[in-house]
Amino acid sequence: MAKDSTAAKQKGGNKIVKYFRDLKSEIKKVVWPSRSQVVNNTGIVLILCVICGLVLAGIDLGLSQLVELLLGIK
C-alpha cells in the first residue's frame, strides 16, 4: 500500500514538473514586441478611445436635444 501512494505522488509530481517545463518552452517561443511598437500601439489605442468618446458624446448630445425638442422640455 505504501508503495502505491508513493508512486501516485511521484506521478502527480511529474505532471507538475512537465507542466512547468512545457510552460518554459512555450514562453521561449513568444515574440515580444519592441518598446517602440508598444509605445506606438498605446498611442493608437488612446487616440481611438478619444475619437470614440467624442463620437459617443456627440450622439448623446444630439439625441438628448432631439428628445428635448420632441417633448418641449427646456
Give the CB-side neighbour count of residue 65, counting CA atoms within 13 A: 6
C-alpha cell recorded at residue 58? 456627440
Range of the domain at 8: 1-30
Cα dist from 51 to 9, 26, 46, 66, whole Å: 57, 37, 9, 22
Q: Beta-carbon neighbour count of residue 68 at 10 Å?
A: 11
Tens of pLDDT, residue by residue, the chain (74 residues): 455 555 555 566 788 999 999 999 999 999 999 999 999 999 999 999 999 999 999 999 999 999 999 998 86
Instruction: Say yes or no: 5 and 17 in one domain.
Output: yes
Q: What is the pLDDT, as a whole number, of residue 13?
A: 72
What is the number of structural domains in the chain? 2
Instruction: Say yes or no: 48 and 65 in one domain.
Output: yes
What's the whole-model pTM score?
Answer: 0.59
Instruction: Say yes or no: 20 and 45 in one domain.
Output: no
Instruction: Say yes or no: 24 and 42 in one domain.
Output: no
Instruction: Say yes or no: 47 and 14 in one domain.
Output: no
Asked if 27 and 20 touch (Cβ cutoff 8 Å), the reply is no
Instruction: Say yes or no: 24 and 47 in one domain.
Output: no
Instruction: Say yes or no: 23 and 36 in one domain.
Output: no
